[in-house]
Amino acid sequence: MPSIQYQYSPDHFVRSEPNKYRPEDLKREEMILNVGPQHPSTHGVLRLEVITDGELIVDVIPHVGYLHRCFEKHAESVPYNQAIPYVDRLDYLAAMNCEHIWAMGVERMLGIDKDIPKRVEYIRVLVAELNRIASHFIAIGTYALDIGAYTPFLWLMRDREHIQRLLEWLCGARMLYNYIWIGGLYYDLPVGFEERCREFTGYLKPKLAELQQLVIENKIFVQRTANVGVLPLPVAIDYGCTGPVLRGSGLRFDLRRVDNYSVYPELDFDIPVGTGEMGTLGDCWDRNNVRVLECYESLKITEQCLDRLQGDLKRTPDFNPQALVPKKIRPKSMDFYIRGETSKGELGFFFRTDPEGKSDIPFRCRARSCSFHNLSAIAEMARGGMIADLIAVIGSLDLVMGEVDR
């Protein structure tokens, strides 16, 4: 049987996601370098089209959509309460925070947000802050791994495991919880949870001090991250950046303080910001330092929640965390936007309810992703830097592609 001969021609190849730059657009000595979408250092299935001039970066164009899971259309096809498992999968590293925001939004549309029991609200904040710490541990640990440090990753995974086991004891799941329900909670805290959680907070404080010495104040880490990936504050605001990325550039903007939702107004905590202590304000070091300092603040919030839950809000035999969970969720006709502070920034949900107010399925649901906005500024941070610093810039953004693609 005669062999079939194929003749190479670039015109025969159709790219599913075409490059922004064509070969004829490049200047002499410039080249197109693809980073991703399958390399682990891109933190998921992210593809970056990088234009380089030798070792220098001329431009970076992110190509997203490789992890698109149709969250918004799923949310428009099921009742509000049945969408919570899909909400978990947005930022799957901080699912409690995502659930909290979704539940608050629907409760406000129903007009029952003021009736939620205080114990329920404090439990929500408690688990959300534990999940925030776990998410930051992933961010810091994988970032150190990206730039060549292996030990911090192992230490942080060890300490994160304590949180995972606490949350597994709470609701049976380690990552995707479906614990915060509209109108209440799936279940009350297990007996002994508060005591075990307080033991953990005492254990973690010295570990955070070790983390600062091992990573944040490490001379090699400082040299690798200071003055790298600088994001000026006006640029961060223009791109809609939020969370540690925005606060790392010096703006004290945290929705837990700005919007004062849930019981955060009753709690005492600070909002860490970047100061340019080791390099330039808004560099990779500032963003990571903000995350470590936020872990201290989340521990402070956790201890205050435990004080209330073991004090005037302690469990009673007649307490039912599902007492206000509505059987029918049919908000009036309205357009409504709710936002809250996750570990990565502002997560928001826009709802357009059924025009006749007779359906428990949203007519339109739109998710505002903090990771998407933070990623959009990557070219401003990487342009003019070295290729070797590009991975350091990506890691400093703490991206979750499930939230970017939605």
**pLDDT of the residue at 43:** 73
Indicate if the pLDDT at residue 279 is higher than 80. Answer: yes
The fraction of the chain above a pLDDT of 70, given in percent, is: 94
**pLDDT of the residue at 327:** 86
Q: What is the pLDDT of residues 296-307, one digit of tens each?
A: 999 999 999 999
Q: What is the pLDDT of residues 123-154, one digit of tens each?
A: 999 999 999 999 999 999 999 988 888 899 99
Regarding pTM above 0.85, the answer is: yes
Q: What is the pLDDT of residues 354-379, one digit of tens each?
A: 888 788 899 999 999 999 999 999 99
Closest CA to 90 of 79, 103, 99, 81: 99
Highest mean pLDDT: which range of 28-37, 59-68, 93-102: 93-102
Domains observed in the chain: 71-405 (1.10.645.10)
Q: What is the pLDDT of residues 162-189, one digit of tens each?
A: 999 999 999 999 889 999 999 899 999 9
What order do you get walking across the sheet with 56-63 strand by strand? 30-35, 47-53, 56-63
Section 39-53 average pLDDT? 80
